[in-house]
Structure 1
Amino acid sequence: MNEQLKTFIQVAESGSFSKAAEKLFISTTAVMKQMNLLERHAGVPLFNRTNHGVRLTQAGSAFIKDAEFMLRYYQESLIRMHQAAQANRHMVRVGTSLLNPCKVLIDLWNGASDRYPQFGINIVHFDDDAHTLPTSYRTLGQSFDIIVGPFLTDRLNDCYQMLELGSYRVCFAVSRHHKLASKKILSAQDLYGEKLAVVNGGKSAVIQDIRDFLVRNHPRIRIKDIPRLYDLDVFNRCEESNTVMLTLEAWGEVHPSLATIPSDLDFTVPYGLLYPLHPSGEIQQFIEIIREMQRVPTPG
């Protein structure tokens, strides 16, 4: 009925089925069918049809103001309905940055968001800075509720909870001018004689295991320990100094002057959601929804 009212008002204003159809961006036949149906429901003619267009009958003139009122009331009702729904909707604040992009979570959520209209996503940007990142981790729940990224800092594990979503492959990044930049895959032997930056300011057990493996089995690689968290400055310095860097496949597009090349090392780094130790009831419910989505196999 809502579409019929809109069409009726437009026909009355245009004085023509074809002009109304053009403004409504539908066919003239569709306009005529809607008006015929409306007249059948009303039980009286609403238009006088002539070769020069259409004009309202006395009944149509009496109905036009009511039609405008009903359409306006319907539209206002929709607004009130959506406002009421928004009042009960909880916005989950997801932190995002160049090294901790939220796309993984957004893609996952977009596949199920229709089933959970009580939740919405609000994206909050934060900086990848080794000096401020620990504060971002420690204050989860203040500026944002969730960070999506690799688990690379065991020394802050007592500041948040984690929900693993998957793992990233370990890679090596080299300057695009480096002699190894054209390689499709790098083995540890390819790095003999090279300086390899191992960033582990977060005291990550996974990164430490990789370092110990290389030191024990490939002593010809010159390990350069970087006692800080990964940030853009580390990428810049490795590119400037032509130093190979231990990195992750997810960071392949972080620095345009670095080539990220898969390695043959049998190591991966888990990634997922970081969220407060004591989340609100809504955030805990959201986390449980994501956890359940991880348990259910994807069809096909």
Structure 2
Amino acid sequence: MIEQLKTFVQVADSGSFSKAAEKLFISSTAVMKQMNLLEKQAGVPLFIRTNHGVSLTKAGTAFIKDAEHMLQYFQESLIRMHQSAQANRHIVRVGTSMLNPCKVLIDLWNGISDLYPQFGINIVHFEDDAHTLPTTYRMIGQSLDIIAGPFLTDNLKDYYRVLELGSYRVCFAVSRQHKLASRKTLCVEDLYGERLAVVNGGNSAVIHDIRDFLKMKHPQIRIKDVPRLYDLDVFNRCEESNTVMLTLEAWADIHPSLVTIPSDLDFTVPYGLIYPLHPSKEVGQFLEIIKEMQGNVLPKVE
């Protein structure tokens, strides 16, 4: 009915079915069908049709003002409805960076967001800096509600809750000028004689296990321990020094001058969501929805 009223007002203003069709971006046939149906519903003719166009009958002239008022009321009602919905909408603030991309969460949420219109997501960017990242994590529960990314700091659970969503394969990254850069995959033996940067400022048990495995089983690789958190400066330094770097498949496009190559290492690093020990009721409800998708149930938020 609303579309019919819009078309009726446009035809009345244009004085022509074809001109109204052009302005409404529909066919003249569609306009005539709508107006024929409107007249049938009204029970009286609304237009005088001539070879030169159309004009309103007395009934049509009496109806045009009411039609305009109904359309205006409808638009105002839509505005009030959206304002009411926004007032009751809960915004979840999700942190994102190059090394902690929120895409994995956004992809999950986009698949079901229509079912939960009461929730919205606000993306908050932060920098990957080994010196300031600990401060960024302290923002969780304050200016951020959730950070998505790999779990490379084992003491996270002492300060935050984590929701595991999957795992990333461990890979090797080399400069595009490196002799191994053209390889599709890399075996550990391919790194014999190479320097391998192992970054573990987060004291990750998985990274410790990889390092110990390589030192014990493959001493031909020169391990370069990097006791800091991963950040873009680490990628830059490895590229500049032509050092192979232990990395993750999720970071394949981080540095344009590095090539990320799958490895035969049988290790993976878990990834997921990091959120406060005591999330707000709304954030807790949002996380319950995500966890239900994973087949688990979060503790109820009181």
Give the TM bin, normalised by the shorter chain: over 0.9
Aligned mates of 1:214, 1:236 — CA distance in 2: 24
**For 1:232-271, what aligned pairs fall within 5 Å after superposition?**
232-271=232-271
**For 1:171-250, what aligned pairs fall within 5 Å after superposition?**
171-250=171-250
How far off is 1:36 after superposition?
A: 1.1
1:164 pairs with 2:164: yes
In structure 2, the residue corresponding to 1:295 is in which secondary structure? coil
Aligned mates of 1:92, 1:34 — CA distance in 2: 43
Aligned mates of 2:36, 2:180 — CA distance in 1: 75
Q: Contact (CA 8 Å) 1:137, 1:160: kept in 2 or not?
A: no
- The one-character-per-residue Cα deviations of 1:100-130 (angstroms, maximum 9, x if unpaired) are 1111111111000111111111111000000
Which residue of structure 1 aligns with residue 102 of structure 2?
102
- The one-character-per-residue Cα deviations of 1:209-264 (angstroms, maximum 9, x if unpaired) are 10010011011111111111000000000000011100000000000100101110
In structure 2, the residue corresponding to 1:36 is in which secondary structure? helix
What is the identity, as a one-letter code, of the residue corresponding to 2:214?
L
Which residue of structure 1 aligns with residue 272 of structure 2?
272
Which residue of structure 2 aligns with residue 128 of structure 1?
128
Which residue of structure 2 aligns with residue 75 of structure 1?
75
Aligned mates of 2:236, 2:165 — CA distance in 1: 29
Aligned mates of 2:166, 2:259 — CA distance in 1: 23
How far off is 1:140 after superposition?
A: 0.4
Aligned mates of 1:127, 1:157 — CA distance in 2: 22
Which residue of structure 1 aligns with residue 116 of structure 2?
116
Q: Contact (CA 8 Å) 1:134, 1:156: kept in 2 or not?
A: no
- The one-character-per-residue Cα deviations of 1:14-71 (angstroms, maximum 9, x if unpaired) are 0001110111111111111111111112111111111110001111111111110000
In structure 1, the residue corresponding to 2:71 is in which secondary structure? helix
Aligned mates of 1:277, 1:224 — CA distance in 2: 35
In structure 2, the residue corresponding to 1:278 is in which secondary structure? coil
TM-score by length of 2: 0.96
Aligned mates of 1:269, 1:191 — CA distance in 2: 21
Aligned mates of 1:264, 1:138 — CA distance in 2: 36
1:93 pairs with 2:93: yes
Aligned length: 296
Which residue of structure 2 aligns with residue 45 of structure 1?
45
Aligned mates of 1:129, 1:248 — CA distance in 2: 18
How far off is 1:139 after superposition?
A: 2.5
Which residue of structure 1 aligns with residue 61 of structure 2?
61
In structure 2, the residue corresponding to 1:154 is in which secondary structure? coil
Which residue of structure 1 aligns with residue 14 of structure 2?
14
Unaligned 5+ residue runs, structure 1? Answer: none
Which residue of structure 2 aligns with residue 24 of structure 1?
24
Aligned mates of 2:222, 2:156 — CA distance in 1: 28
Deviates more, 1:40-49 or 1:223-232: 40-49
- The one-character-per-residue Cα deviations of 1:69-93 (angstroms, maximum 9, x if unpaired) are 0001001101100110111110111
Alignment RMSD? 1.0
4+ aligned runs moved over 3 Å, structure 1? none
What is the identity, as a one-letter code, of the residue corresponding to 1:128?
D
Q: Contact (CA 8 Å) 1:168, 1:268: kept in 2 or not?
A: yes
What is the identity, as a one-letter code, of the residue corresponding to 1:230?
Y
How far off is 1:138 after superposition?
A: 2.3
How far off is 1:156 after superposition?
A: 3.6
Q: Contact (CA 8 Å) 1:92, 1:119: kept in 2 or not?
A: yes
Q: Contact (CA 8 Å) 1:138, 1:159: kept in 2 or not?
A: no
Aligned mates of 2:155, 2:281 — CA distance in 1: 27
Aligned mates of 1:156, 1:63 — CA distance in 2: 68
Unaligned 5+ residue runs, structure 2? Answer: 297-302
TM-score by length of 1: 0.97
What is the identity, as a one-letter code, of the residue corresponding to 1:29?
T
Aligned mates of 1:162, 1:210 — CA distance in 2: 23
In structure 1, the residue corresponding to 2:261 is in which secondary structure? strand
